[in-house]
Amino acid sequence: MNCKTYDIVIVGGGIMGSSTAYYMMKTAPRLRVAVIEMDKTYSRASSTLSMANVRIQFSFRPNVQISQYAFEVLENFEEEMAVDGTGPDIRYRREGNLFMVNEENQIPANNALKMQQELGCDIEWWAPEQVREQFPLYNPEGYVGASFGPKDGHLDAYGVLMGYRAKAISMGAEFIHAEVAEITRSGKRVTGVRLKSGEEISAGAVVNCAGAWCSAIASTAGVELPVQPVKRQIFALDTKVKPDRPLPLTYLPSGMYFRTETGGLILLGKSMQEDPVGISFSWDEQRFYDFLWEELAEFVPEFAELKLVRGWAGLYAMNTLDANAILGEWPELDGLFLANGFSGHGLQQAPAVGRYITELINLQDHALDLSIFSPERILKNQPLQETGIY
Ligand SMILES: Cc1cc2nc3c(=O)[nH]c(=O)nc-3n(C[C@H](O)[C@H](O)[C@H](O)COP(=O)(O)OP(=O)(O)OC[C@H]3O[C@@H](n4cnc5c(N)ncnc54)[C@H](O)[C@@H]3O)c2cc1C
């Protein structure tokens, strides 16, 4: 059997794999790039199962800068991704993000706000009365205030993913529907991948964009990543009382978050310590009634009456070292590049990550240096500090 050869093979064609393929074709159009994706429908990809939120409000400066770049890209995304004059419809809605702050998290919240403002971000501090004035349904009692990012918002994640994918294909990237069974190596160098069908594909570089499956596939090349698939659930609620305007994505210090969805439903989630590790997509409505309903009704008393309409589960690729991205070449295996471990905030990082991985592979200068996220920190056990992660 003839072995196919590419310059770059990307394992996983979710938002990371597709954006990397796009930036690769944009900057080095002569490269032969293959993206291997096992799920044509993307029905299990985190990219399509996410809350689809984009925000500037992080506490770690590079994460803020990554989001600033995302804002820039998303502004013109539909035009940039147009193929034959037709662009994707990403339904970008800048309806804001509101982080409620209590006494306990006041100092880190103030520090984060100051740093975001220094970077030129549009972020406001609201006293509890302002919160009530803006969103009369909320009960801000017990909070010292909130930070509000008016430009944060949400979009159609599937639309963004398809935008990158279609554009990359139009520029010459090849998307292959198959499952990668193994990343192959010879000594200290990656040689390509072997598919589940047994077919071997050789490549100069392999990029691991396998999302929640990234550790499983990395381990076939002897690379152990501190990334686990962790189930997170989202619930769609039909509340009896409807807000008179869209609610921003609102975060409570407990980790609960909710926002208005198109059609007037409320989407709600909460990351919990006991969320199960493993590949599973079942969702549990009892979890909402047992753990979340009361807390929601305390903050939004008018939401005490509601109907749970549906829900779903998706996977965080949870970086157990520090919940942040792992970006770059694995120090002990030449040619294996990682774009992994995004936990709950990877969607908004896809533009900056795709561009950065492309620059790394092509040895180009970095428009935004993300080497702080290098995998070396895993080997040195040096976690990054970010408190704004849910
Ligand atoms: C409930 C939930 C809410 C979230 N909310 C947000 C949010 O509001 N904002 C935000 O920025 N982020 C959010 N995230 C996180 C975000 O969705 C992810 O960080 C991001 O989508 C990761 O993209 P990815 O391309 O790495 O992974 P994925 O989208 O999962 O893509 C990985 C792809 O790799 C494929 N694959 C895996 N293994 C193989 C293999 N061996 N062979 C071939 N193909 C393979 C899979 O089929 C999959 O399509 C959320 C995630 C969840 C689960």
Quote the pLDDT of residue 262.
83
CB 174 within 8 A of CB 203: no
Give 211 Cα–ligand 1 centroid separation in angstroms.
5
Clarify whether residues 52 and 167 are in a common domain. Answer: yes
144: CATH: 3.30.9.10
Q: What does the alpha-carbon distance between residue 226 and residue 228 come to, in Å, rounded to a whole number? A: 7
Give 389 Cα–ligand 1 centroid separation in angstroms.
16
Structure tokens at 105: 């998290």
Instruction: Report yes or no on 343 lying in a domain.
Output: yes
Give 322 Cα–ligand 1 centroid separation in angstroms.
18
Give 15 Cα–ligand 1 centroid separation in angstroms.
7
Quote the pLDDT of residue 386.
76
Clarify whether residues 77 and 213 are in a common domain. Answer: yes
Clarify whether residues 235 and 341 are in a common domain. Answer: no
Quote the pLDDT of residue 233.
98
Clarify whether residues 106 and 248 are in a common domain. Answer: yes
Residues 3-28 have pLDDT tens digits of: 899 999 999 999 999 999 999 999 99
Pocket of ligand 1, candidates 43, 47, 67, 272: which has the most ligand atoms within 8 Å of its Cβ, to mutate? 47
Compute the average pLDDT of residues 39-45.
97
pLDDT band at 385 (very low <50, low <70, confident <90, very high): confident
Instruction: Report yes or no on 51 lying in a domain.
Output: yes
pLDDT band at 1 (very low <50, low <70, confident <90, very high): low
Instruction: Report yes or no on 300 lying in a domain.
Output: yes
Q: What does the alpha-carbon distance between residue 281 and residue 250 come to, in Å, rounded to a whole number? A: 25
What's the structural domain count of the chain?
Answer: 2
**β pairing state of 174-177 and 33-37:** parallel
Compute the average pLDDT of residues 101-127.
96
The last residue of one of the domains, among 269, 300, 319, is 319
Clarify whether residues 264 and 293 are in a common domain. Answer: yes
The last residue of one of the domains, among 267, 286, 319, is 319
Quote the pLDDT of residue 308.
98
Question: Any residues with Cβ below 6 Å from ligand 1, and which?
Answer: 11-12, 14-17, 36-39, 42, 45-47, 49-53, 179-180, 209-213, 217, 232, 234, 314-316, 342, 344-348
Instruction: Report yes or no on 389 lying in a domain.
Output: no
pTM, two decimal places? 0.97
Residues 305-332 have pLDDT tens digits of: 999 999 999 999 999 999 999 999 999 9
Residues 221-243 have pLDDT tens digits of: 999 999 999 999 999 999 999 99
CB 270 within 8 A of CB 254: yes
Structure tokens at 344: 């709950």
Clarify whether residues 166 and 221 are in a common domain. Answer: yes
Q: What does the alpha-carbon distance between residue 373 and residue 135 come to, in Å, rounded to a whole number? A: 37
Rounded to a whole number of angstroms, the CA Rg of the chain reads: 21
Average pLDDT value over all residues in the chain: 96
Residues 240-292 have pLDDT tens digits of: 999 999 999 999 999 999 999 988 999 999 999 999 999 999 999 999 999 99
CB 354 within 8 A of CB 328: no
Domain hosting 56: range is 4-82+157-226+321-380
